[in-house]
Amino acid sequence: MNSQIIGLRKVINASGRMSILGVSTLHDSVVDAIRVGGQSYVEMDDLIEKSGQIVSSYIQSESALVVNSASAGIALSVAGLITKNNHYLIPKLHQVAPLLSNEVLILKGHHVDYGAPIETMVNLGGGQLKEVGYANGCSIQQLEAAIHKQTVAFLFVQSHHCVQKNMPSLVEVSEICQKKSIPLIVDAAAEEDFTSFSHLADLVIFSGSKALEGPTSGIIAGKNEYIQYIKYHLKGIGRAMKVGKESIFGLIQAIANYQTNRNNIDSQLAQLKQLEVLSQFDGIQVSIQSDEAGREIYRARIHIDPKKSRLSALQVVKKLREGEPAIYTRDYHANTGHFDIDPRPLLSGDMEMIVEKLQQILGGK
């Protein structure tokens, strides 16, 4: 079966590993592992334990748990830190959470909507989100003063979606959390360096389907004590977030692949170079940009001057999306005159199609 059989449009993803486009494509070896998992019976508790050991060894954390998404990882982490190992409170989470310490601190500049509001996931886990600072900055003094007896955790979001300027760094937040004995959760869903967070945070959350290019899944890694608290909720709210055996098998294979096939910067830059031909059009400027959040990612930025070109950036990305095939770009700043092309999700022949379509649109065809 292919996507056209069920009536779906063909999509070229030049936006990034985005959930709205299915995140990633899977390597044949990952598909094979999913098939093996899907066609096998296993003892799920044993699989959860053994897969956690494999993942924690790779991430270099004390313990780990595979869940069905990074979003579930946020909710379950908060739930675990609220109820700890109290087996009376765990099944009654949402009845008792308002009566317990359930405040989760977050920098205001990190309070984002990544496809769902991050506050929704905290609330789902029984927590109440409390913003610290302002959208354009937060001081260390503000952060320290926000911590009190109702604070159960600090949630730090490592993402390009967040405000980067005038915010305390992860290292600074980690030092304060250690000083105040407050558990630190890091949402690192789309990060590509999986071993640089465990020494700073008590719990770290990754997507299994973004950088790892595995099936839809998530990873919570961190201290043994906190991971155990979270596991208790697998028979509570986590029942609605359970991950299938086939996804766990696929994720383990994706991790093995990632260890031997890291992101190729030279390949990214070679693909992006093909877009330079667009500079022949009046009002079009092509430049190479590094990732705003510091990851080893490069993208082509296409600037459009509507005074010299007959179209605006917003009109161009709209035409690309509505074409056949549909081409999705990274268009967060299209209203200010530019959009980006991310080469990482592109399949064979995609870049050539993008260049051809842009030439047609910019040339007035």
pLDDT digits (tens, 9 = 90+) for 271-284: 899 999 999 999 99
Q: Give the per-residue pLDDT at 165.
A: 87
Give the residue, 293 or 310, on which the prediction is more confident: 310
pLDDT digits (tens, 9 = 90+) for 206-253: 999 999 999 999 999 999 999 999 999 999 999 999 999 999 999 999
Nearest to 125 by CA among 248, 247, 220: 220
Distance, C-alpha 43 to centroid of its chain: 29
Determine the 3-state secondary structure of 286 from DSSP: strand
Nearest to 309 by CA among 337, 340, 272: 337
Nearest to 270 by CA among 161, 346, 164: 346
Name all domains of the chain by residue range, CATH numbers in brackets: 3-20+263-362 (3.90.1150.180), 42-260 (3.40.640.10)
Residues 6+ apart with CB under 8 A from 260: none
In Å, how far are 278, 301, 316, 323, 357 from 275, measured between CA atoms?
Answer: 6, 10, 15, 19, 11
When the pLDDT of each residue in the chain is averaged and rounded to a whole number, the result is: 92
In Å, how far are 82, 97, 206, 226 from 126, measured between CA atoms?
Answer: 8, 5, 21, 16
Give the residue, 87 or 1, on which the prediction is more confident: 87
pLDDT at 261 over 70: no
The token duo for 191 is 């990060």
Indicate yes or no: pTM above 0.85: yes
The token duo for 123 is 């609330």
HSE (side-chain half, CA atoms, 13 Å) at 173: 26
The token duo for 26 is 């899977």
Q: Give the per-residue pLDDT at 292.
A: 74
pLDDT digits (tens, 9 = 90+) for 37-92: 999 999 999 999 999 999 999 999 999 999 999 999 999 999 999 999 999 999 99
Q: Which neighbouring-strand residues pair with 13?
A: 328
Q: In what order do the strands lie in the sheet with 338-341?
A: 284-290, 298-304, 338-341
Nearest to 137 by CA among 179, 115, 166: 166
